[in-house]
Structure 1
Amino acid sequence: MAFTRATGKHRAPGRMTRRGANIAGVATLTAAGVIGTLGSPALAADLEAAVAEDTTPAAPDSPATPVRAIVIDDSLAAEIDAQADAQRLAAQQAAAAKAAAETAARAEAEAKRKAEARAKEIREDKERAARAAERERLNAYRLPVAGSPVTTGYRTGGGLWSSGSHSGVDFRAASGTSVVAVGAGTVVEAGWGGAYGNNVVIRMNDGTYTQYGHLSSVGVSVGQGVAPGTPVGVAGSTGNSTGPHLHFEARTSEEYGSDIDPVAYLRAHGVGV
């Protein structure tokens, strides 16, 4: 195909031709398929109408091939340029939109990652706090009978005890009063204990032992784990007893005779007696 200036009476008298860069631009648009895919049917029709068969004879040494000449006026060329610019702008806008979407997706993913990390941190903090609270609860000590005073002190002498002195302390407790473990540990004795009547002995978590005597009934069994405040029985007056009360002992071992001062023991564990 060759681009030539229109001549002869068959061309419109006022039509202008675009040469040089304009014709080269049309050739480029034609080769790239832009003209054939113009968004405006009217523009495509105008361009088609501007293409005419030219019967200009070929040079003697050239093949006798008809030459198609394209004649484009200024308004049509401007419309073609505008269409090309619009396509480039649309492509740029699409690329910018895609980049913005990818940036937004990355930001959303990062925000989600941070939120999950923060939620995990909060959950772990709560779990640590719960474990700490549980340790504190298990390490806490309390009175075996809530709000009860000591009525008979440690090492009080008299004929009521076979050893000649009191091996523990007595807490005032009416029959049926709940008796609880003073701290966390494991039950090593639960049942009849001779002069102690119905009694419970607990090996505490710190390696010491506590005893609860003269119970009317026992509420735990050997091998059972207890926490501070776990009910172990009900106060009564079984065994060698002159009336309802709780006999409480603290020992360094399970054996009789290893007793230590129960009041000092409880105070050492933060209990006000």
Structure 2
Amino acid sequence: MAFTRATGKHRAPSRLSRKSAHVAGVAAIATTGVIGTLASPALAAAPDAAPGSLEDTGLNQAVITDTLAEQVDAQAEAQELEAQEAAAKAAAQAKAEAEAKRRAEIRVEAAREAKERADREAERKRLNAFQLPIAGTYVSTGYQTGGAMWSSGSHTGIDFHAASGSSVVSVGAGTVVEAGWGGAYGNNVVIRMNDGTYTQYGHLSSVSVSAGQTVMPGQQIGLSGSTGNSSGPHLHFEARTGADYGSDIDPLAYLRSHGVNV
């Protein structure tokens, strides 16, 4: 005879059935990796719940927790990336500033060197420059002009027009080799120029340099006058290849060869 269960009553699940259900639940958890569901009791749908609604089953909490963790991780990664980008920008900015500073220093150094070169060149030109022995003057007696006034029978230099007491300057850079009385030349100054030639300034009323002294172009060496064998105030100027009398050369050609407009 067949046995049937009584209707209208619910029997509690057998021990074996409960164990099987528990194992199945654990297996499902292991498969999904959601451990959080073990911490929350499963909730059945409330008898008075609206159709289609579910109460918290514990699994929902685990999914939400995982989602928040992912958001936190993503935010942390974004912040780390932002920090890396900021550090990279700061490093690039520091590098750019260092390069700009280096370039500025190079420009300053180049400008300094250029100024030093320009100063040296200007000084070189100044030292090599020649000028008239008296400003605004003109030649009153030419070179090798004949006459009884000169013992050699001709003029060994040129005379520059000058009122008594006019400033007489060295025509270029050199060293004084004679300063004082020069016989027929009166008070005179002889200078060995830096190029090895010599210049002489005669008939001075006074001398303001001494032998052995270095003079620069345009430096005053005395005042014009009419001392010695002279017929009136003027400056006798000679150019020579040596220090002694008789080594004279054309003073006008000499001055012009050194860039003096006379």
TM-score interval, normalised by the smaller of the two chains:
0.7 to 0.9
Match of 1:258 in 2: 247
For the aligned residues, what is the CA RMSD? 2.1
Residue type at the aligned position of 1:248: F
Q: How many angstroms does 1:141 deviate by?
A: 1.4
Decide whether aligned partners of structure 1 residues 225 and 123 sit closer, same or farther in structure 2, where only a CA change above 3 A counts: same
Decide whether aligned partners of structure 1 residues 237 and 77 sit closer, same or farther in structure 2, where only a CA change above 3 A counts: same
Q: For residues 97-112 of structure 1, what are the structure 2 equivalents within 5 Å?
A: 97-112=86-101
Match of 1:215 in 2: 204
Structure 2 residue corresponding to 1:176, chosen from 146, 165, 171: 165
Q: Find the aligned partners of 2:224 and 2:144 in 1 and give their Cα distance.
A: 22
Q: How many angstroms does 1:75 deviate by?
A: 3.1
Q: 1:29-58: per-residue Cα shift (whole Å, max 9, x none)?
A: xxxxxxxxxxxxxxxxxxxxxxxxxxxxxx
Residue type at the aligned position of 1:6: L
Check if 1:145 corresponds to 2:177: no
User: So what's the TM-score if we normalise by structure 2?
Assistant: 0.77
Match of 2:65 in 1: 76
Q: Find the aligned partners of 1:194 and 1:16 in 2 and give their Cα distance.
A: 135
Q: How many angstroms does 1:243 deviate by?
A: 1.2
Q: How many angstroms does 1:12 deviate by?
A: 5.1
Q: 1:179-205: per-residue Cα shift (whole Å, max 9, x none)?
A: 111111111111121221111111111
Q: How many angstroms does 1:6 deviate by?
A: 3.5
Match of 1:15 in 2: 56
Residue type at the aligned position of 2:224: A
Check if 1:157 corresponds to 2:146: yes
Match of 2:3 in 1: none
Q: How many angstroms does 1:137 deviate by?
A: 2.0
Decide whether aligned partners of structure 1 residues 72 and 123 sit closer, same or farther in structure 2, where only a CA change above 3 A counts: same
Q: Find the aligned partners of 1:185 and 1:145 in 2 and give their Cα distance.
A: 17
> 2:199 touches 2:238 (CA, 8 Å); kept in 1?
yes
Q: Find the aligned partners of 1:4 and 1:107 in 2 and give their Cα distance.
A: 53
Check if 1:119 corresponds to 2:108: yes
Q: How many angstroms does 1:73 deviate by?
A: 3.7
Q: Find the aligned partners of 2:189 and 2:58 in 1 and give their Cα distance.
A: 118
Query: % of aligned pairs identical?
Result: 61
Greater C-alpha Rg: 2
Residue type at the aligned position of 1:98: A
Give structure 2 stretches of 5+ with no counterpart. 1-29, 45-54
SS at match of 1:232: strand
SS at match of 2:38: coil
Match of 1:60 in 2: none
Give structure 1 stretches of 5+ with no counterpart. 19-70
Structure 2 residue corresponding to 1:240, chosen from 212, 229, 243: 229
Q: How many angstroms does 1:85 deviate by?
A: 1.3
SS at match of 1:248: strand
User: For structure 1, which segment, 161-170 or 99-108, has the greater mean C-alpha deviation from structure 2 after superposition?
Assistant: 161-170
SS at match of 2:168: strand
> 1:250 touches 1:259 (CA, 8 Å); kept in 2?
yes
SS at match of 2:65: helix
Matched residue count: 219
SS at match of 2:152: coil
Structure 1 residue corresponding to 2:216, chosen from 212, 227, 230: 227
Check if 1:6 corresponds to 2:38: yes
Check if 1:187 corresponds to 2:189: no
> 2:174 touches 2:193 (CA, 8 Å); kept in 1?
yes
Q: Find the aligned partners of 1:178 and 1:190 in 2 and give their Cα distance.
A: 16
User: So what's the TM-score if we normalise by structure 1?
Assistant: 0.74
Residue type at the aligned position of 1:238: T
Match of 2:79 in 1: 90
Decide whether aligned partners of structure 1 residues 270 and 7 sit closer, same or farther in structure 2, where only a CA change above 3 A counts: closer
Decide whether aligned partners of structure 1 residues 265 and 5 sit closer, same or farther in structure 2, where only a CA change above 3 A counts: closer
Residue type at the aligned position of 1:94: A
> 1:16 touches 1:74 (CA, 8 Å); kept in 2?
no
